[in-house]
Structure 1
Amino acid sequence: MLHELGPRHRLLLAAALFLLAPLVGEFLLGNQPVTALPSLVLLAPMYGGGALLIREATRRAGRGWPTMILLGAAYALLEEGPIDQMLWNPHYGGFDMGLAYAGTHVPVLGVSVEMVQDVLSMHTVWSICVPIAIVETFSRDRTRPWLGPAGLGVTGVVFAAGSLFLAFAQADSEHFMASPAQFGGAAVVIGALVAAAFTWRPHSASATGRTAPSSWVVGATAFAASSLYWGREFLPDGVPAWGTVGAWCVLVAAVVALCAYWSRGRGWGARHRLALAGGSLLTYVWVGFRHARDMGVPYTTSLLGNVVLGVGALVLLVGAAAVVRGRESAHHGPGTRTALITARNE
């Protein structure tokens, strides 16, 4: 299965995903300032290792995005649950998380529904799916695995070691430990998501006669939808917390339904997948400018970091788009391009 890509190319792709996941999930978002880039050594084993394991397990099983999304959701709950315990710690990171999410706190579950939604959104979309989609653009066959058994085993060990290190470090620094029931409940949900990822097969409808929309429309929609999610921070005081929970459910359902509808259109392909990831990535660019200020980072440092990382995100997307265009040109050939131009003129 691995012969389609050279060993060097496969390792470069794996390394790129390993580093891109924490760069997007922590630094582009503004959780970490650019001066903290050396902390990639600590963050990449969990973020990058998790994204790489999800991508490899999915492709080895011959599955696609529904599986990766479910595994991404499992990763999200694992990171913010058993690993760093943010789901349950009311004073996580020195912030009054209990007060911020009090409106949708469910005592019997010991967790806020709104926080669970935030965790699922940030990590499923931006920490896992966006980096995978972008890096796969640079692969000649996105459905092929990049790692052999040995590489997969090493990645698993690195992920487990990095996650355990961060879990113990967080417990020691936060002086907080969740209850056994909370750990057990999280384990059950995470296990159910993993099981569903490999057993549930969504209805696979055949391609329809309609044409898929322009990739620009797809990208703009992804940017608008993901910006709308983050735009709730601008809502005035007094908006019911359960109202935003309901709006999140409607937004997620609408985006999933729209993507499923679009992906069955004629011509759906690499340009559209990149547009979905790119539109979402650009949302983190503007969110990072706002978020960094809330993290207590000096203004000059946060501004410099946001500019550097934002430009880096743009360069990455431009490069990925160039790869897609080059691949499509090579696939169609001069004769096909001429025919397409003639057809358009007619």
Structure 2
Amino acid sequence: MHTARHHRWLPALGLLLLSPVCAEYLIGYDQIIGRPRELLAGLLILAPLYGAVAVMIREAARRTGRGWPTILLLSAAFGLAQAGLIDQSLFNPHFVDEPSWDRERSSTLVPVLGISLQHTLNFLAGHVIWSFAAPIAVVESLTPRLADRPWLRRGGMAVMALLYCLGAAVIFREHTKKFMASPVQLGVTAVIVLTLVALAFTLPRRRRPMPGRVPPPLWLTACTAVALLATHQLIPPTWAGVALDVLSLSLGAGLLLRWSSRAQWGRMHILAVSGSALVVNAGLSFVVQPNGQVAYAAKYVANATLMLGVLALLAAAHRRLRRAEATANAEGSRQDASRLTPLHRT
């Protein structure tokens, strides 16, 4: 029993670390990308801010017998809370001291709301996909036997909640020294966050799968995900770009909803989608211009290291899913054989 509990802490710890790496380091936009010590030190704040949330989202869904709709809605809620309430990057016109930030923000600014639609889409999609959902899916693929089970007890959840509160407090204090969103902006954001949380727990639980075919996970599913996610990341910060972004994200969500409702949709498909998200950002990191000064040799070494790490992680997850499928098929065959009467066996 003690060993089983210990093993359940391992995926939680893995998610605690993978989530911030995917959220902040994988795309390689920060000037510390080529400084390993600073990257490791940054995890002291980013792991509580992102990783603890990812663990809590995953645990809340699995403990209540819910699935990916709940995970995605909670991811959107926490992502909006991060951008709108904690660091307030959604509203702060000077959040990043870079000319590119000002250009991107002003090109799709909605003055009455005080937000940029392009930034809003980037923040929300980025948090939902890369900060939370994709890391959760990859870690669950690495531990298929524990994928539908809770990993932590109440004490573990309390630790994660405490870590998150501490990390959020540090970030809030740092980013609100010179800027604070208006009470209306904060109030409306809080209402939307609470609405998303309520929806996450009022949606019907898992429905019976529908008949129908799904695409092969390792080529069509992955290629579709790569194309749509790369489109999201590469569109220009213009009104036409916002329209294209909404179209690509809506198309991806529609396909995912359609395919995932079918009986043949499985964990390998989930890994294909989530793995594609990580590969897209790891690949784009080589052409991303980091904020501030950076040594490019060190940057490319870091980009390559993260890409190799992603590929190794996905290969391990694929191998473990294959092994779990083979074990499940073998157990099913033995159970079928045990039901046969001696007459049937002759």
Considering the TM-score relative to the shorter chain, is it more than 0.5? yes
| Amino acid across the alignment from 2:128 | T
| Distance in 2 separating the partners of 1:185 and 1:19 | 31
Q: Is the 8 A contact 1:31 1:295 kept in 2?
A: no
Alignment of 1:101-140 (within 5 A): 101-139=105-143, 140=145
Instruction: Specify the alignment match of 2:7 in structure 1.
Output: 9
Structure 2 CA distance for partners of 1:165 and 1:294, relative to 1, 3 Å: closer
| Amino acid across the alignment from 1:196 | L
Structure 1 residues 14-62: Cα deviation after superposition (integer angstroms, max 9, x where no partner): 0000000011111111134142222111111001011111111111121
Q: Is the 8 A contact 2:209 2:263 kept in 1?
A: no
Structure 2 CA distance for partners of 1:104 and 1:202, relative to 1, 3 Å: farther
Structure 2 CA distance for partners of 1:182 and 1:266, relative to 1, 3 Å: closer
Bigger Cα displacement from structure 2, 243-252 vs 146-155: 243-252
Alignment of 1:167-182 (within 5 A): 167-172=172-177, 175-182=178-185
| Distance in 1 separating the partners of 2:215 and 2:243 | 28
Offset at residue 296 of structure 1 (A): 3.3
Structure 1 residues 105-124: Cα deviation after superposition (integer angstroms, max 9, x where no partner): 22221111221111111111
| Distance in 2 separating the partners of 1:322 and 1:199 | 35
| Distance in 2 separating the partners of 1:335 and 1:149 | 34
Bigger Cα displacement from structure 2, 217-226 vs 294-303: 294-303
Please point out which of 140, 147, 150 is paired with 2:152: 147
Matched, 1:156 2:176: no
Bigger Cα displacement from structure 2, 108-117 vs 326-335: 326-335
Please point out which of 261, 265, 269 is paired with 2:266: 269
| Distance in 1 separating the partners of 2:5 and 2:130 | 27
Structure 2 CA distance for partners of 1:291 and 1:164, relative to 1, 3 Å: same
Q: Structure 1: which 5+ residue stretches go unaligned? A: 234-238, 337-346
Offset at residue 282 of structure 1 (A): 0.4
Structure 1 residues 156-180: Cα deviation after superposition (integer angstroms, max 9, x where no partner): 11111111111102223xx222222
| Distance in 2 separating the partners of 1:252 and 1:245 | 10
Structure 2 CA distance for partners of 1:4 and 1:292, relative to 1, 3 Å: farther
Instruction: Specify the alignment match of 1:306 in structure 2.
Output: 303
Instruction: Specify the alignment match of 2:96 in structure 1.
Output: 93
Instruction: Specify the alignment match of 2:253 in structure 1.
Output: 256
| Distance in 1 separating the partners of 2:102 and 2:74 | 27
Structure 2 CA distance for partners of 1:202 and 1:150, relative to 1, 3 Å: closer
User: For 2:329, what is the secondary structure of its paired residue?
Assistant: helix
| Distance in 1 separating the partners of 2:51 and 2:308 | 21
| Distance in 1 separating the partners of 2:292 and 2:128 | 22
| Distance in 1 separating the partners of 2:3 and 2:252 | 33
Structure 1 residues 264-310: Cα deviation after superposition (integer angstroms, max 9, x where no partner): 33422111110010111100111212225455322112111101111
| Amino acid across the alignment from 1:23 | V
Q: Is the 8 A contact 1:293 1:299 kept in 2?
A: no
Offset at residue 215 of structure 1 (A): 0.8
Offset at residue 99 of structure 1 (A): 3.2
Please point out which of 329, 333, 340 is paired with 1:332: 329
Instruction: Specify the alignment match of 2:214 in structure 1.
Output: 212
Structure 2 CA distance for partners of 1:245 and 1:203, relative to 1, 3 Å: farther
Instruction: Specify the alignment match of 1:342 in structure 2.
Output: none
Bigger Cα displacement from structure 2, 105-114 vs 322-331: 105-114
Q: Is the 8 A contact 2:104 2:118 kept in 1?
A: no
Q: CA RMSD in A?
A: 2.2
| Amino acid across the alignment from 1:166 | I
Q: Is the 8 A contact 1:27 1:34 kept in 2?
A: no
Alignment of 1:204-243 (within 5 A): 204=207, 206-208=209-211, 210-216=212-218, 217-233=220-236, 241-243=238-240
Q: Which structure 1 residue ranges, 4+ long, deviate > 4 Å from structure 2?
A: none
| Distance in 2 separating the partners of 1:161 and 1:297 | 30
Instruction: Specify the alignment match of 1:184 in structure 2.
Output: 187
Alignment of 1:284-303 (within 5 A): 284-303=281-300
Offset at residue 203 of structure 1 (A): 8.9
| Distance in 2 separating the partners of 1:323 and 1:203 | 25
Structure 2 CA distance for partners of 1:203 and 1:274, relative to 1, 3 Å: closer
Structure 2 CA distance for partners of 1:329 and 1:167, relative to 1, 3 Å: same
Q: Structure 2: which 5+ residue stretches go unaligned? A: 334-346
Q: Is the 8 A contact 1:18 1:52 kept in 2?
A: yes
TM-score of the superposed pair, with normalisation by structure 2: 0.88
| Amino acid across the alignment from 1:215 | P
- Between Structure 1 and Structure 2, how many residues are aligned? 326
